[in-house]
Amino acid sequence: MQLCKQIKNLKVMVHVSSAFVNSYLTEAHERVYDAPAEVESIINVAQKLTDQALNDIERTLLKNHPNTYTFTKHLAEHEVKDCSDMFPCTIVRPTM
């Protein structure tokens, strides 16, 4: 997002997410669902803990997400959404 803020003639920022970002839901619509965690707090935890400590609490952090891939994609969507008042943004969720 920092880079996008510096681009003078940015027309739109397209974020490529994943159709599986909401795989824990039985039915998902075209919207950004509540964040599983605060992005900054997850970054702080990841920077402070050892790899082993992170592995030990991984299931707790992931909540309903099956893996870190969908979890971080979900967090990234919130970062995009938070920037939507600064420049045009869109999120695409391809299946493969």
Q: How far apart are CA 29 and CA 95, in angstroms?
A: 14
Looking at residue 1, its pLDDT comes to 77
Q: Give the model's pLDDT for residue 89.
A: 94
For 32-82, write each residue's pLDDT tens digit.
Answer: 998 888 989 999 999 999 999 999 999 999 999 999 999 999 999 999 999
Q: Average the pLDDT over 22-39 and give the result.
A: 90
Q: How many CB atoms lie within 10 A of CB 55?
A: 10
Per-residue pLDDT band at 92 (split at 50, 70, 90): very high
pLDDT band at 96 (very low <50, low <70, confident <90, very high): confident
